[in-house]
Every structure is written in C-alpha cells, then in structure tokens.
Amino acid sequence: MASVVLLCTSIAALVSAVAGELLTAEQFANAVPGHLELDPEFRKLHPNIPGPHEDVDPFIVGGVESIPHSRPYQVGLYIPVTTAGVSFCGGTLINARTVVTAAHCVDMRVGNISVFMGAHNMPPGGDLNIVARFAGDVVIHEGWNRAILLHDIALIRFEVAVPLSASIIPILLPRDATHDYLGNTTLVSGWGRPSDSVNTISPVLREVTSSVISNYACRLAYTGIIESSHICISGSHGRGTCNGDSGGPLVVNGVLIGVVSFGSAFGCEVGWPSAMTRITSYLDWISENQAPAE
C-alpha cells in the first residue's frame, strides 16, 4: 500500500488579533505538524502507513506562484489543536458565510479558528485586501472516519457575512452531481511548506495544474482506501499536492470539485496521485449544513 500523508501543516509564528481575540506568538512558535500520521490512534489503525519522508519536498510541486488575488475563493486557516499548538490548512469560500475544508483539519481543534480571506502572502501581514474572522461554528461530516479516510469534509460558518470584493469571491459548486470530471484539467492552490526541514508554510500562494484520473487507477496506488466519494488527480511529472494544502480547493473551470484530503508521502516527487473529497458526493450535505449567504 502506498504511504499516505494527510496534507495539513503547522506554521511557525504569527500574532493575529481577530474579532477581538488574540493568538500568542508562543502558540504559533510551538506549533507542530498537523499530519494525521502523528496521531497515535491513527498509527494503531494504520501501522503500515508511514509518515512523511525527509527527502520529499512538500509544497504545491510542479507549480508556480499564483497571480496575487487571482484565486479569490482561497482561504487560509490557523487551527488550535492543543492549548499551545496551532496547525495550518486551506479552505474554500462557498458563500459569504461558509468555508468548506477537510474534516481532518478541524476534528481535533480545541478553540476557535482564525480564518483569513483575500490573502496572497501567509502569514497575511498588513494586506488591506484581507478579511479575518475568528470562527467557532464548525460542522464536521457525521460519517468522517479517520480509520478509513472517508467523508473528509467540514464546514466553517460565520455569524456575519464576509464583505465580498475583487479579492474575496465565493466559488461555484457543481450543478451536475453525476459528472465525474475524468480527464479534465484541474487547478489546486495552497500555501504548502517549502521543505520538510523548514517548519513554515510557503510565504505566497502557489498553484499547480493536473488532471483527474479514474478511481480505478487511484485505487491501484491506495489499495483499500479509494471509494466513489473520492476524486484523484495525477501526480505525473511531479505535479500534485503536498503538506500544507489540506482542505484546499480542487477546481475545474472555476467550479469546486474537490477538497484536498490525502496524498502519498512519496507523491510530490515520484508521481503518486493526490486524493480529494469529491464535492459532487456531498452537494446535498453542503446545502443542508451551510450557513445562508445572507
């Protein structure tokens, strides 16, 4: 079975006052990687799935820096996972009051999530395009299961709508739940770490194009894991998602078709596919649980 690494990464240091609440520099400085493999219970469930390998370059590989503010649906999440630790994940704005992300990013949180929208740099600094929220209303799919990596999806809901702008625009969801997107060219974006030896995320948003492969082909890499509610992209030519991009968007023609879930520990450099939560499998669940836009 291929090594699997869930793509959620810690950050080093950031002081951020959001909605009157403060995350301390010490909390961020002491952050640890948010890989699912570091959870002792996960290690018991999956003893044959090792953690990340030191020779893998974990960021959006084979890609480029995004044009600033060209992905206005992209969200950055700082998530407290212990009383002193913070993890980083991506997310996608789907309406003015709702962000979709991966369940594994938020299921071990111990406090409110710092949510940044309209950012290109991360940590976001003083960019005037940025809107920040401190969010505690989180809905995790009731079927999410770390043991079998199914239903890795969650929603973060805001009490007050986010002011939209050229830098902050919700993404479209699919209209046809039967569309499999096989062979379509995809775009994945995120702030993945520049290397395993550096415990910080990329300072700028990066993106990479790939293509949707069949679940049968993906199943050959991840024996016993891939189901119909997953969607996979090719890792050929070193293109794929790596640590730091968990929860982020998989997009085709401006439509959100996946949420970054997991990938091989070898995937960034030797061509293993990246696995996502398939949005068309969850359209009803999203509709029932998202916050009204207004």
The residue ranges of every structural domain in the chain are: 74-170+282-289, 171-281
> Is domain 74-170+282-289 classified as CATH 2.40.10.10?
yes
Residues 6+ apart with CB under 8 A from 244: 7, 8, 9, 58, 59, 88, 90, 190, 191, 192, 193, 201, 202
Give CA–CA dist 187/56, Å, rounded: 21
pLDDT digits (tens, 9 = 90+) for 175-198: 999 999 999 999 999 887 544 444
pTM for the full predicted model: 0.85
Give the pLDDT confidence score for residue 10 in this predicted structure. 38
The whole-number mean pLDDT for each consecutive block of 10 residues of the chain, a chain of 294 residues, reads 45 36 53 51 57 44 80 93 78 97 92 93 81 94 92 97 96 96 92 58 84 90 87 72 73 96 59 87 98 86
Give the pLDDT confidence score for residue 220 in this predicted structure. 84
pLDDT digits (tens, 9 = 90+) for 186-230: 999 988 754 444 456 778 898 888 899 999 988 887 877 899 999
Q: CA angle, 129 as apex, 127 and 132 as ends, to 5°?
A: 85
Unique residue bearing structure tokens 């010490």: 26
Give CA–CA dist 189/85, Å, rounded: 24
Give the pLDDT confidence score for residue 163 in this predicted structure. 95
Give the pLDDT confidence score for residue 146 in this predicted structure. 85
CATH number corresponding to 171-281: 2.40.10.10
Give the pLDDT confidence score for residue 5 in this predicted structure. 45
What residues act catalytically?
Answer: 104, 152, 246
Count how many Cα atoms sit within 13 Å of the Cα of residue 198 in the half-sphere of its side chain.
12
